[in-house]
Structure 1
Amino acid sequence: MNNSTQKDEHELSTFLDSGIYRFQNSNAVFIDPVRVLNRSYTGFRVSASAYYSRFLETKYAEKETKVSSNSKKRKRKQKKPHILNERERAADQRHQEVKPVLLKAHEALLGATDLLMIMGKLRTEICSSSECGVEQSFVELGRVWQAPMYEITFNFNQGSEIDRCSEQRVLPLFNNLVANETCDDVEAEILTRRYILPRQSCFFMSDLGQIHNLIPAESNCGFNLIVIDPPWENGSARQKSLYPTLPNRYFLSLPVKQLTHTEGALVALWMTNREKLYNFVQKELFPTWGVSYVATFYWLKVKGDGSLISDLDLFHHRPYECLLLGYCSLEEANCKYQSGFRAIKDNQIIISIPGDSSRKPPIGELLHEYVPGPRPARCVELFAREVTAGCVSWGNEPLHFQDSRYFSGKLDD
């Protein structure tokens, strides 16, 4: 057995435990979000079939084939090629610069045959969750006048398997920091639905006007990893009513610097490929937040068989998104030169199968080596739609993916 084969087998074994596969001689990693998320849970499992339903179901493949066929028909009807405007040319130039890196990362994935075999088995998992019915819309729930009266009920199980007893705790649902400080998962109830909260996690559910309540009284209690996934204005999301979006100017008011730890913070911002948005972030948003840009990571989206979810050169539907990284410091000096901030290699690639629309892969572990200040990292995720262990999740629907329908049951079932 040669050294390369041994490394591949070691990497595969590590992947089965961690959910992260690092390709040899590459700046790319593959993430199985389900494996990564399940490390936050002691008694429940995130359902792979529920997470990957968009890209593993036969219906999706048939729909995509039909769309591709229609696209070809539309292309034949086009008489003139589309002439790119100045902004579109800039976006295309940015795409052409990163394209070789993306292709090399994808080639690394296609060359990892053992990993591809594991990815192919995801389709066979059957979701055993018995939950049904329409999901609760926390956005709508938070808008009604009764919102301050809604509560979340925690059901704690204590004692041994034989002498187990239950304890309930009832807390306000909105505008309140709700925490599971135990080392085990907790089942909670809101109205008639069940939700699963991982160990050592907490959330604050509110609209943008209440985010100041997250600001710590002292900066040494602040956060040194700040992940932000804004609901950027998006025509597709608006048409499909997937989630409410906000104009760009609203994000200028996010108190990023006030949330930052005394020793600084790594800020990770998800964004789409629109050139207008990229310019806004670089010229207005980061400067307003006090963030110095340092690197861009790319999330390359693939299907269960390893193929890209769309053609790499498809102008308006490219199969990747950007993660912009920057450092925020409470000191006036340029963040790039603070002693506690590490250099980050640009153009790193994260490959994964996407979940539901707008759901991002869990990236905390990939970023921890770059986080300044204390360990374990004090993490906050803004505009979160799920709750993770060791992190504060803020947004108007942080429990969206905690609904028990996204879980396949207890580990001992």
Structure 2
Amino acid sequence: MEDNQLRLFMESGIYKLNSNALFIDPVRILNRSYTRVRVSPATYYSRFFDSSNSTQSPKAIEDSRKRKRKQKKKPQSLNEREQIADQRHQEVKPFLLKAHEALLEATDLLKDLRNLRNDGCAAGGCKELSQESSELSFLELGSVWQAPLYEIVLNCHQDDKTSQDGGSTLVRSIEQRVTPAFNNLIANEESCDIEAELFNHKYIIPKRSCFYMSDLRQIDNLIPADSDCGFNLIVLDPPWENGSAHQKLRYPTLPNRYFLSLPVKQLCHTSGALVALWVTNREKLRGFVQNQLFPKWGVKYAASFYWLKVKANGMMTGELDLFHHRPYECLLLGYCDGKDTHSGNLTKLNPIPDNQVFISVPGDYSRKPPIGELLLDYLPGSRPARCIELFAREMITGWTSWGNEPLHFQDLRYFVSKTTEK
């Protein structure tokens, strides 16, 4: 059974641990969006692959951690809001521990985890595509008055067969399309990924995907004229306000009240939409979402999923009970009614199981794993579903990506050549 699970994992990037938990490999999932290139596992998994403790078994490391926890002093008394947060943590903790135990018991999967960073690229099996030493700052480019004048070049590959001397020859050409880079819906309707150029930097656009790069003031342009063209799945990863100066240096944040103006209701498909919102573990934020944000958007809470972060050796990236730096994040799920949901469409959906846990090795800072496939069984409306990610920093085939830097992880530096892999 485990061998079959591992074989499916190699193809899909998803490994079912038990009825409550999954392990996912974001690189394998993302690579389904590409035909000419693949996501570089070495670049994606840039953290949590140190060699320390590599000779110890996961059980030995966990036993060592338990001893250290017992030696720690009791925490200081918590205020009222912190007590609520701790109570929420204690409620979900058994599900997280059960999921982690299931991971540690999947020995074949654990062996594969140690190779995630070099998967398919060992011994020169892949070729790096970009030697750029710096990245474009889309935030700076989009904030200047010249932004509407900046253009991006899309290079679409055309394969044509020509007859010659009784035979046929494959001739490959490139058709270029130039279009405004900002405040403009840019689509790749091809069945293969294409390359784009902006200020001498190159980007990979997945097959059958589109993006709209703008600030919050332009998002209304994505509202469809006909709600039948709205979205069945809306995923959001907002840059929540944060008092940490360290985090503000990594990416700019916005006051939480700004997100009240997001036109979530107007983006919904006529059959309704499942809304998936990434939140931090701060109780102040959870209260804001529950009491203000979801009601303003017209979203009814349905369930919570949890992303448990582990290292390549299978151990959690931090102490589970460490109050301010817990190794998991929460995805709040809710439904937004569409025009025809009065007919009972939402009640016919598969019920979303609460407290589901998905486990993965984290990528770059603030980069979320692709979770759309985990939610497809719970979407209202017909298939194929229309999906959008707000505040996106990368793209997925079949999705619309909106934000002020949806091309961030589409930079050529994050990919390797597929034609050279073994």
In structure 2, distance between residues paired with 1:239 and 1:341: 39
In structure 1, distance between residues paired with 2:241 and 2:41: 29
1:68 equivalent in structure 2: none
After superposition, what is the alpha-carbon deviation per residue over 1:114-158, rounded to whole angstroms, capped at 9, x for unaligned? 101111112445674242211111011101121111111011111
In structure 2, distance between residues paired with 1:23 and 1:237: 38
User: Residues 211 and 350 (structure 1 numbering): CA distance in 2 closer, same or farther, change over 3 Å?
Assistant: same
| Structure 1 position 199 matched with structure 2 position 207 | yes
Out of 157-166 and 243-252, give the one that drifted further. 157-166
**Which amino acid in 1 is paired with 2:391?**
F
Q: Determine helix, strand or coil for the equivalent of 2:171.
A: coil
**Which amino acid in 2 is paired with 1:29?**
L
In structure 1, distance between residues paired with 2:151 and 2:131: 21
User: Residues 289 and 238 (structure 1 numbering): CA distance in 2 closer, same or farther, change over 3 Å?
Assistant: farther
In structure 2, distance between residues paired with 1:370 and 1:206: 30
2:80 equivalent in structure 1: 86
In structure 1, distance between residues paired with 2:348 and 2:75: 51
Aligned counterpart in structure 1 of residue 259 of structure 2, from 251, 257, 269: 251
Out of 14-23 and 327-336, give the one that drifted further. 327-336
The answer on whether the counterparts of 1:292 and 1:336 sit within 8 Å (CA) in structure 2 is no
The answer on whether the counterparts of 1:57 and 1:123 sit within 8 Å (CA) in structure 2 is no
What is the correspondence of 1:36-55 to structure 2 with a 5 Å cutoff? Answer: 36-55=29-48
What is the correspondence of 1:123-142 to structure 2 with a 5 Å cutoff? Answer: 123-124=117-118, 125=121, 128-129=127-128, 130-142=130-142
1:3 equivalent in structure 2: none
**Which amino acid in 2 is paired with 1:118?**
D
User: Residues 238 and 288 (structure 1 numbering): CA distance in 2 closer, same or farther, change over 3 Å?
Assistant: farther
**What is the Cα-based RMSD across aligned positions, in Å?**
2.4
The answer on whether the counterparts of 2:241 and 2:254 sit within 8 Å (CA) in structure 1 is yes
Aligned counterpart in structure 2 of residue 9 of structure 1, from 3, 8, 18: 3
2:154 equivalent in structure 1: 154
After superposition, what is the alpha-carbon deviation per residue over 1:331-374, rounded to whole angstroms, capped at 9, x for unaligned? 59899983344311100001001111111000111100000101
2:172 equivalent in structure 1: 164
The answer on whether the counterparts of 2:270 and 2:340 sit within 8 Å (CA) in structure 1 is no
The answer on whether the counterparts of 1:327 and 1:341 sit within 8 Å (CA) in structure 2 is no
The answer on whether the counterparts of 2:304 and 2:333 sit within 8 Å (CA) in structure 1 is yes
In structure 2, distance between residues paired with 1:227 and 1:336: 23
1:412 deviation in Å? Answer: 4.5
1:162 deviation in Å? Answer: 3.5
User: Residues 333 and 118 (structure 1 numbering): CA distance in 2 closer, same or farther, change over 3 Å?
Assistant: closer
**Which amino acid in 2 is paired with 1:253?**
S
Out of 132-141 and 236-245, give the one that drifted further. 236-245
Aligned counterpart in structure 2 of residue 359 of structure 1, from 345, 363, 367: 367
Aligned counterpart in structure 2 of residue 21 of structure 1, from 6, 9, 15: 15
The answer on whether the counterparts of 1:291 and 1:335 sit within 8 Å (CA) in structure 2 is no
What is the correspondence of 1:223-242 to structure 2 with a 5 Å cutoff? Answer: 223-236=231-244, 239=247, 241-242=249-250
2:227 equivalent in structure 1: 219
**Which amino acid in 2 is paired with 1:329?**
D
2:321 equivalent in structure 1: 313
User: Residues 407 and 236 (structure 1 numbering): CA distance in 2 closer, same or farther, change over 3 Å?
Assistant: farther
Q: Determine helix, strand or coil for the equivalent of 1:262.
A: coil
**How many pairs were matched up?**
394
User: Residues 266 and 202 (structure 1 numbering): CA distance in 2 closer, same or farther, change over 3 Å?
Assistant: same
User: Residues 220 and 331 (structure 1 numbering): CA distance in 2 closer, same or farther, change over 3 Å?
Assistant: closer
What is the correspondence of 1:306-345 to structure 2 with a 5 Å cutoff? Answer: 306-330=314-338, 338-345=346-353
Q: Determine helix, strand or coil for the equivalent of 1:159.
A: strand
In structure 2, distance between residues paired with 1:258 and 1:15: 37
TM-score (norm 2): 0.88
User: Residues 307 and 149 (structure 1 numbering): CA distance in 2 closer, same or farther, change over 3 Å?
Assistant: same
What is the correspondence of 1:115-130 to structure 2 with a 5 Å cutoff? Answer: 115-124=109-118, 125=121, 128-129=127-128, 130=130
Q: Determine helix, strand or coil for the equivalent of 1:29.
A: strand
The answer on whether the counterparts of 2:271 and 2:339 sit within 8 Å (CA) in structure 1 is no
| Structure 1 position 173 matched with structure 2 position 150 | no
**Which amino acid in 1 is paired with 2:414?**
Y
User: Residues 219 and 333 (structure 1 numbering): CA distance in 2 closer, same or farther, change over 3 Å?
Assistant: closer
Q: Determine helix, strand or coil for the equivalent of 1:308.
A: coil
Q: Determine helix, strand or coil for the equivalent of 1:339.
A: helix
Aligned counterpart in structure 2 of residue 399 of structure 1, from 397, 407, 410: 407
User: Residues 324 and 52 (structure 1 numbering): CA distance in 2 closer, same or farther, change over 3 Å?
Assistant: same
Q: Determine helix, strand or coil for the equivalent of 1:235.
A: coil
| Structure 1 position 33 matched with structure 2 position 26 | yes
In structure 1, distance between residues paired with 2:27 and 2:82: 36
| Structure 1 position 372 matched with structure 2 position 387 | no
